[in-house]
Chains A and B, each alone.
Chain A
């Protein structure tokens, strides 16, 4: 215990001697290269501080650490395009180091995984292609699925190593839907970039928009009109509901419960239609903008929404029943989780938020340079935005999505799972690739 305390003190001491650059909600701590290396070494046994993300911009490596409730941003200059790898002590940093290399060319020294993350080489030319780690052992064989596969294509490549019908290992290859989002938003005004951020991942349109708006508002010290955060909270809950219903419908169809799938998807469509009446868009895209809301919601239609949301209780009830649990097998608890979440979020969203017609829905964004961070919860996990504003435009931005870590968790869980169970688990938990590829 004493050792743990001394590690915390050491990490705190290193962070205390960093140069401070103002930011919100936390200041940016800029370390020298030797201090960066010391910090990484001390993180090895430090369980109280968790890794969140890593990225490169403008000749610096940035690291986000979770200390208690706070996310602390740390930066250090690159040394001739290299930096001391975080993945040596925190394996979960490997994805971010690979992504950073693909996006910026910066090299993580002594990294434990140097495969590309989203850069796609050419078959026959690039030694990194396809870059899968495992070769089959005796009696094992590999099959590749995607990027075009299934009835409605999920654009990633999945390499399964199988022994009979049992999964021995799973690897994913992403990058097919890379659209250069980070490069697109750099140089845009905060309002213009909001449209791009809302279209990164359809299952987290609102979560992306809210996290982005909060980051801009933090960086620019913008004050929101009253009740806006309450409406945003309701929108996040509604997004959880619709995503839960969609996931459950896909899974129900996959196990042959077609009637249940139809009931779930019909309810999802009814909710989407009602959301269109309230917010002007089925997925609530382009509603949340930095400074507030671009659209004044028609709260008179919220009572209809409340009635529709009550049906979630009835429609998701079969997921607690024996018949459906039997069909889902080892995945029944995952389906049950989605059903419970849908009911919980529906309860939260069914009461209309308070908003007076005379109140403004959006505040001007102050002309203020700064560094800011914002977060919002999506159905798959927390989304973080980190960005810097300079002269009224976005100087740089980075987006932390839960997709890659969910995919890694799925890869780990797949070992010794039957192939049917694995595919069903994937339907239930795998987020859209667009949120990973950026």
Chain B
């Protein structure tokens, strides 16, 4: 989530994408499947903090899941290394629609400091269609939570727009 972009603009953009895809809306909660595509572990550290601290992800109806088939969001951290690109693609392919891809951290945004290495394909967008980027190196737990809540906000906004298939 870039700071220069307004929160409302991001929400509207995501909502429009969801509505345009003509897909069933997400439920009231979000399930996340995480894939480390080549991270130093900093984003995972903050993600773990976001799942365990007092004001944690669960309080907002967001949980981490192991099974990609029950996930709404594929959360990618780290650069897209050649060794994990296929794993990330297969994980997304296993997810049911509607689904979002959220890139967390500067490495996932564009490859970060490792851009240009022959072992790195770039950011998450180099291998998957990314819906939302939560920037930072690494982003704080509060920033991760606020970024993920944007997806829920978008879901509500899409509901207000009148998505053609489903309702919350």
Spell out A's residues near B (CB within 8 Å): 120, 147-155, 175-181, 183-184, 195-196, 199-203, 205, 246, 249-250, 253, 261-262, 265-266, 268-269, 272-273, 282-283, 285, 432, 434, 437
Q: B112-156 interface mask toward A, CB cutoff 8 Å, 1 = contact, 0 = none?
A: 111011111000000000000000011011000000000000000
Is A282 a contact of B140 with CB atoms below 8 Å? yes
Which B residue sits closest to A118, measured CB to CB?
B83
Is A147 a contact of B87 with CB atoms below 8 Å? yes
Known: A148-B35, A261-B52. A202 touches B64 (CB 8 A): no
A-B contact sample (18 more), CB < 8 A, given A152-B44, A180-B114, A184-B116: A148-B91, A151-B66, A152-B48, A177-B39, A178-B83, A179-B81, A179-B120, A183-B117, A199-B40, A199-B112, A199-B113, A201-B40, A202-B138, A246-B49, A262-B54, A265-B49, A283-B138, A285-B42
In the complex the two chains form, what is the Cα distance from A175 to B83 in whole Å? Answer: 7
Is B53 a contact of A196 with CB atoms below 8 Å? no
Q: B28-72 interface mask toward A, CB cutoff 8 Å, 1 = contact, 0 = none?
A: 000000111111111011111101111010000000111000000
Is A147 a contact of B84 with CB atoms below 8 Å? yes
| Residue of B34, B79, B107 touching A151 (CB-CB under 8 A) | B34
CB-defined A-B contacts under 8 Å, sample of 11: A153-B34, A153-B35, A153-B44, A178-B81, A199-B112, A202-B40, A202-B138, A265-B49, A273-B140, A285-B42, A432-B44
In the complex the two chains form, what is the Cα distance from A432 to B45 in whole Å? Answer: 10
B65 / chain A contacts, CB cutoff of 8 Å = 151
In the complex the two chains form, what is the Cα distance from A268 to B54 in whole Å? Answer: 12
B48 / chain A contacts, CB cutoff of 8 Å = 152, 246, 249-250, 265
B88 / chain A contacts, CB cutoff of 8 Å = 148
Is B140 a contact of A180 with CB atoms below 8 Å? no
In the complex the two chains form, what is the Cα distance from A152 to B87 in whole Å? Answer: 14
Q: How far is the CB of A198 from chain B (nearest CB, A)?
A: 9
Is B54 a contact of A202 with CB atoms below 8 Å? no
Is A283 a contact of B36 with CB atoms below 8 Å? no
In the complex the two chains form, what is the Cα distance from A86 to B81 in whole Å? Answer: 31
Known: A262-B52, A283-B42. A177 touches B83 (CB 8 A): yes
| Residue of B34, B54, B119 touching A152 (CB-CB under 8 A) | B34
Known: A249-B52, A262-B53. A153 touches B36 (CB 8 A): yes
| Residue of A155, A178, A199, A203 touching B36 (CB-CB under 8 A) | A155
| Residue of B49, B51, B114, B116 touching A268 (CB-CB under 8 A) | B49
Known: A265-B48, A265-B49, A269-B49. A177 touches B36 (CB 8 A): yes
B66 / chain A contacts, CB cutoff of 8 Å = 149-151
| Residue of A180, A201, A269 touching B120 (CB-CB under 8 A) | A180
Is A155 a contact of B38 with CB atoms below 8 Å? yes
Is A253 a contact of B79 with CB atoms below 8 Å? no
Q: Which of A148, A150, A202, A269 has the most CB of B within 10 A?
A: A148
In the complex the two chains form, what is the Cα distance from A201 to B46 in whole Å? Answer: 14
Q: How far is the CB of B133 from chain A (nearest CB, A)?
A: 18
Is B117 a contact of A177 with CB atoms below 8 Å? no
Is B41 a contact of A202 with CB atoms below 8 Å? yes
Q: How far is the CB of A394 from chain B (nearest CB, A)?
A: 15
Top 6 A-B residue pairs of the complex, sorted by shortest distance between their CB atoms: A202-B42, A202-B41, A432-B41, A180-B119, A176-B83, A180-B117
In the complex the two chains form, what is the Cα distance from A176 to B82 in whole Å? Answer: 8
Is A434 a contact of B41 with CB atoms below 8 Å? yes
Which B residue sits closest to A283, measured CB to CB?
B42
Q: Which of A177, A184, A266, A437 has the most CB of B within 10 A?
A: A177
Is B49 a contact of A183 with CB atoms below 8 Å? no
Q: How far is the CB of B97 from chain A (nearest CB, A)?
A: 20
B38 / chain A contacts, CB cutoff of 8 Å = 155, 176-177, 179, 434
Q: Which of A196, A200, A434 has the most CB of B within 10 A?
A: A434
Is B84 a contact of A155 with CB atoms below 8 Å? yes
Which B residue sits closest to A179, measured CB to CB?
B114
Which A residue sits closest to B137, measured CB to CB?
A285
In the complex the two chains form, what is the Cα distance from A172 to B141 in whole Å? Answer: 30
